[in-house]
Chains A and B, each alone.
Chain A
């Protein structure tokens, strides 16, 4: 079975699959970095993103009657904006009041879990259990190069993930908002003393994290065009684990963790029956974590809030 193993082919598949994990892991890691909160609703924010994309795309295609490429160009930013509003609402309605009261972290995490369940079940209640078929937006082209097969859609997904990473990395290292995010993760107490409204930074964090989950939602729906209310649950958990393996709180870690998880899964499927996929993938991650409990990019923090 090694004969037909094609490294480049698997690498492309791994990058494409890992891109989804990476884009979602980002949101987990940013919110954790700023609030020390594991936002367990984040996987469901991704799911909501896919549904938002579905409605926006359907609207643009059938109501406005625009062609697919126009729907594609409109759906991506519209979904990112609308999904980030979902994230911001969660912060406003659920997390901020608890923060104001100084609630213990456990309660906030449980609240996040419940928010996720509410999003899933609200979706179920409003739209029913039937799956939604996502309309094709761009014509899929299959390219063959050497022995490698790939599609334009896969390339778009990988490029989107890489561009998101570069954008975020720039924001976090070069802009004042990004610096403020890093400052909060180090010493929340001193941030308002710099004249920085903490809530504004937290909202920005949720905008970015949810916006990229929305982007993952559009791209996922385009790649695997069947939507159902629980689609965010498992992928959300996996992205969270990817973020932890990468070193939670670190953006590079989220991306590396996401791609790593994608690669492990693709490799397992290349050599074993696909039912082994999650078992082996999680075992590998377990080994990595037991060797380096702070994650690949994590540093043991001496000063922590």
Chain B
């Protein structure tokens, strides 16, 4: 397994957010975590990508392993630099005071010296032509959807081969939503491992190979996307009947 989360118990202060969840992602897979508001999806991702203290959720017990090695002591920047995992965070968090291009350049901060960045910028602009048109614009002034594209493009520029996305379709018009999911599919076909969090369960399950259903800090269902889509309980709670 590329990434495995084992019996993870996580707290914020005294509030327990995850009650011992386990899931894993294999190389080249698209795995999705679905669940309602407050289920603990974002907390799961933050636990994986680490956050600098004091914002970080506190892992009480359990383990997170990358290629079999615990990463609980790995710093957040090293998760990106050394493990090549990148997070597209909930709420995008792009650097609004900088241009689109500067956002992308900044993401290459810890890239190897011999990386061919020029062709990677080209690739991002091919995926998201809109970003190229707005290259020198302050990213604050981008529309919500364009900011989301920038957040994804920026994560890709870190040189990751594993991308974690937290509700990337939030606030996107349907057309853009499908476009984004097509892009994710394409990235996966090129070898990218993807862990996707979505509230739109139907969309997520159509894209993913496997999925987990999270409910108030516990995993209540798991399996291939097909089996989840046909699971009556999942259907009722997350797929609108």
Contact = CB atoms under 8 A, between A and B. Distances in A.
B95 A192 contact: no
Contact of B89 (A100, A101, A182, A193): A193
Interface in B28-79: 49-55, 75-78
A162 interface: no
A101 B56 CA distance: 11
B62 to A, nearest CB: 22
B169 interface: no
B89 A195 contact: no
B192 interface: no
A176 B80 contact: no
A26 B212 CA distance: 51
Contacts of B107: 194-195
A182 B53 CA distance: 20
A199 to B, nearest CB: 9
Contacts of A140: none
Given A180-B109, A197-B77, A189 B96 contact: no
Q: Which one of A186, A192, A197, A198 has the highest number of Cβ atoms from chain B below 10 Å of its Cβ? A: A192
Query: What is the size category of the interface that chain A forms with chain B?
Result: 20 to 34
A195 B51 contact: no
Nearest to A197: B77
Interface in A175-199: 176, 179-180, 182-183, 185-187, 189-190, 192-198
Given A182-B97, A182-B98, A192 B106 contact: no
A303 interface: yes
Given A187-B95, A193-B76, A179 B52 contact: no
B96 A195 contact: no
B96 A186 contact: yes
A202 to B, nearest CB: 11
A102 interface: yes
Contacts of A180: 106, 109
B126 interface: no
Q: State the 8 A-B residue pairs at the shortest beta-carbon distance, nearest first.
A: A102-B54, A195-B80, A192-B76, A190-B93, A195-B110, A195-B81, A186-B97, A197-B77
